[in-house]
Amino acid sequence: MNIKIIVVGKLKEKYLKQGIAEYTKRLSKFCKFKIVEVADEKAPEKLSEAEMMQVKETEGERILNKIKDKEYVYALAILGKERSSEEMAQELQNLGTYGHSDLTFVIGGSLGLSETVLKRADTQVSFGRFTLPHQLMRLVLTEQIYRSFMINVGSPYHK
């Protein structure tokens, strides 16, 4: 199985990089895992609705350029479907079983994801109604993907 996370912007915080590196190493036993960064657009504090849409569309084009047709895409979105860790584990296992071996998760920039990215997604997933920094979300998502594999192999890690 190939799992990719596409993210907007660069990761700067050392502690987040270390956490992601640890889970990436652990995931190597189960899948090919990588994180792909696309450039973020400069977005001043005060943007009109049209300017916000333009920023999201520009970032969205960069994201879509990194997605192949065969990839099953999860868009992270506050209004997406919430899943338990067990439900996510089952879903990933089912996708692998039924021919979806290339999974891509997309984390948008500070303004979220464009409509075109949301339309391309096969499903949307929410980690709740909290707003989290997208850099921190990388770590949370990477850990949850690892947790899914651990659940599927019956490891006590999940408890």
Contact yes or no for 86/151 (Cβ under 8 A): yes
Q: How far apart are CA 118 and CA 96, in angstroms?
A: 22
* 33 inside domain: yes
- Give the predicted TM-score (pTM) of the model: 0.95
Structural domain for 116, as ranges: 2-37+71-92+102-158
108 known ligand binder = yes
CATH of the domain at 122: 3.40.1280.10
pLDDT-based confidence at residue 37 (cuts at 50, 70, 90) = very high
Contact yes or no for 62/38 (Cβ under 8 A): yes
pLDDT at 133: 87
Q: How far apart are CA 78 and CA 84, in angstroms?
A: 15
Strand, helix or coil for residue 57:
helix
Contact yes or no for 35/9 (Cβ under 8 A): no
What's the chain's average pLDDT?
Answer: 95
Q: How far apart are CA 14 and CA 16, in angstroms?
A: 5
pLDDT at 103: 98
pLDDT tens track for 71-94: 999 999 989 999 999 999 999 999
109 known ligand binder = no
Q: Is the pLDDT of residue 117 over 90?
A: yes
Q: Is the pLDDT of residue 47 over 80?
A: yes
pLDDT tens track for 88-108: 999 999 999 999 999 999 999
Nearby residues of 66 by Cβ (< 8 Å), 6 or more positions away: 4, 6, 36, 38
pLDDT-based confidence at residue 115 (cuts at 50, 70, 90) = very high
* 66 inside domain: no
* 44 inside domain: no
pLDDT-based confidence at residue 44 (cuts at 50, 70, 90) = confident
* 32 inside domain: yes
Total domains in the chain come to 1
* 63 inside domain: no
